[in-house]
């Protein structure tokens, strides 16, 4: 009797995107530069493991600026904040470091520009998501939230010839285009943003999942439940033909019954997930007979973002100060 070959299809790209990498580095470098505690408004990225790791190093996560002691350092998360949050920080004399992903900042700039031209802005996204709150806060009088295709039917605009759609960066590409198509049925002159709002990393991770899902009995997505892009990956996997899909933060959360009768398991991770968690999932699967791992690559990601300017300036000044002290010390020893 031939033994059934069990295998894993490992998606690439997966895990950290450039914006997440920059945000996590921002907290780590601030801790080195200023020493703990460093306050972070909201979760720096939506991942349980990343947050607990940074907490262990001295980061304190708060919901609002009011929880930060006056004059302290606060970092704004990768998801972006509304202008009023900066004003609140200023009023409390907080030293604010903005770790907003540059791709989210781009959407904020688009919202401001279209609002200045008196457009109605239809923001496609999930109600209550931090990114949506931040973008809408740039032009609250002009922005209406459209939460999925069904939300398209409730939209009202002042002038059907002056309306544009923008979107949250972490949505399902397919669902967003479905929402846009529904909106265009009612608003044929609806304009599109000048460039794609859904971020490259979200699209790339969804694309490779679509590639592997039809061959998979089950797709395991490593990510947290409050991570929009991770939740979308499970939905994309099932829509693309996987017979099952599950979201887990850690390998030990994988239920054995999910693997019963499976020969091919797909594995990927959301854009805020460190790869060590994926490696632990692969070890867990190997121990259950899924030792044959084939990596499926559909894109090569090379984009990086530099750290926030305000942090880079202070890091540079601190390095110059250390160099000066070292030179003075050598001079004293020689003298």
Residues 127 and 111 in one domain: yes
pLDDT band at 1 (very low <50, low <70, confident <90, very high): very low
Confidence of residue 334 (pLDDT cuts 50, 70, 90): confident
Banded pLDDT at 195 (limits 50, 70, 90): confident
Same domain, 109 and 44: no
| Residues identified as active-site | 131
Residue 46 counted as an annotated binding residue: yes
Residue 311 lies in a domain: no
Q: Are 62 and 68 in contact (CB under 8 A)?
A: yes
pLDDT at 4: 74
Q: How many CB atoms lie under 10 A from the CB of residue 33?
A: 15
Six-digit token pair at 115? 């609002």
How large a percentage of the chain has pLDDT more than 70?
99
Q: What is the pLDDT of residues 197-236, one digit of tens each?
A: 889 999 999 999 999 999 999 999 999 999 999 999 999 9
> Does 167 map to a domain?
yes
| Residue 195 belongs to a domain | no
Q: Residue 307 and residue 79: Cα distance in Å, rounded?
A: 15
Residue position matching structure tokens 């457009």: 119
Q: What gap in Å lies between CA 244 and CA 223, rounded to an integer? A: 16
Q: What per-residue confidence (pLDDT) applies to 249?
A: 98
Q: Per-residue pLDDT for 168 more than 70?
A: yes
Closest CA to 162 of 190, 196, 197, 123: 190
Q: Is the pLDDT of residue 335 over 70?
A: no
216 in a labelled binding site: no
Do 108 and 97 have their domain in common? no
| 63 shares its domain with 26 | yes
In this structure, the chain runs to a length of 335
Do 289 and 241 share a structural domain? yes
User: Can you tell me which residue has the tokens 């499976």?
Assistant: 262
Domain of 173, CATH number, reads 3.40.1010.20
- Asked if pLDDT for residue 143 goes beyond 80, the answer is yes
272 is in an annotated binding site: yes
Which percentage of the chain shows pLDDT scores above 90? 93
User: Which domain range does residue 76 map to?
Assistant: 18-101
Asked if residue 276 belongs to a domain, the reply is yes
Per the CB < 8 A criterion, the answer to whether 301 and 19 are in contact is: no
Q: 10: closest CA among 195, 245, 227, 211? A: 211
199 is in an annotated binding site: yes
Number of domains present in the structure of the chain: 3
CA distances from 295 to 104, 119, 208 (A): 30, 45, 10
- Inter-residue contact 299 to 16 (CB < 8 Å): no
Q: Which of 81, 101, 121 is the last residue of a domain?
A: 101
Dihedral of the CA atoms 230, 232, 233, 239 (nearest 10)? Answer: 160
In a domain, 164, yes or no: yes
Q: Kindly state the average pLDDT of the residues 106-133.
A: 97
- Is 241 in contact with 9 (CB distance < 8 Å)? no
Task: Verify that 45 and 30 share a domain, yes or no.
Answer: yes
How many whole angstroms separate alpha carbon 214 and alpha carbon 152? 30
Find the CATH number of the domain harbouring 58: 3.40.50.11270
**C-beta of residue 104 within 8 angstroms of C-beta of residue 129:** no
Residue 2 above 60 pLDDT? no
pLDDT at 89 over 90: yes
Selected residue with higher pLDDT from 2 and 9: 9
């Amino acid at each position: 009797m031939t033994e059934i070959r069990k295998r894993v299809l490992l998606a690439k790209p997966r895990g950290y995107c450039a914006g997440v990498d920059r945000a996590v580095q921002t907290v780590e470098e601030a801790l080195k530069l200023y020493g703990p505690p460093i306050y972070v408004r909201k979760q720096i990225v939506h991942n349980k493991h990343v947050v607990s790791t940074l907490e262990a190093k001295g980061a304190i996560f708060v919901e609002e600026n009011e929880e930060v002691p006056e004059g302290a350092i606060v970092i704004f998360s990768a998801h972006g904040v509304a202008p009023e949050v900066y004003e609140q920080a200023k009023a409390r004399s907080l030293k604010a470091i903005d770790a907003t992903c540059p791709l989210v900042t781009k959407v904020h700039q688009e919202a401001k520009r279209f609002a200045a031209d008196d457009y109605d802005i239809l923001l496609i996204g999930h109600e209550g998501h931090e990114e949506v709150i931040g973008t809408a806060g740039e032009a609250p009088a002009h922005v209406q939230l459209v939460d999925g295709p069904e939300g398209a039917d409730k939209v009202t605009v002042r002038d059907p010839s002056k309306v544009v759609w923008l979107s949250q960066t972490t949505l399902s590409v397919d669902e967003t285009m479905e929402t846009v198509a529904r909106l265009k049925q009612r608003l044929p002159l609806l304009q599109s943003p000048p460039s794609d709002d859904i971020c490259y990393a979200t699209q790339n991770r969804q694309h490779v999942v679509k590639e592997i899902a039809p061959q998979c009995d089950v797709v395991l997505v490593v990510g947290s439940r409050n991570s929009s892009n991770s939740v979308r990956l499970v939905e994309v996997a099932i829509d693309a033909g996987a017979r099952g899909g599950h979201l887990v933060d850690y390998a030990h959360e994988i239920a054995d019954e999910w693997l019963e009768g499976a020969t091919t398991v797909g594995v990927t991770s959301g854009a805020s997930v460190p790869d060590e968690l994926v490696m632990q999932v692969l070890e867990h699967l190997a121990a259950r007979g899924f030792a044959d791992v084939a990596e499926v690559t559909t894109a090569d990601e090379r984009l990086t973002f530099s750290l926030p300017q305000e942090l880079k300036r202070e890091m540079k000044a601190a390095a110059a100060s250390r160099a000066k002290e070292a030179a003075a010390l050598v001079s004293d020893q020689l003298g």
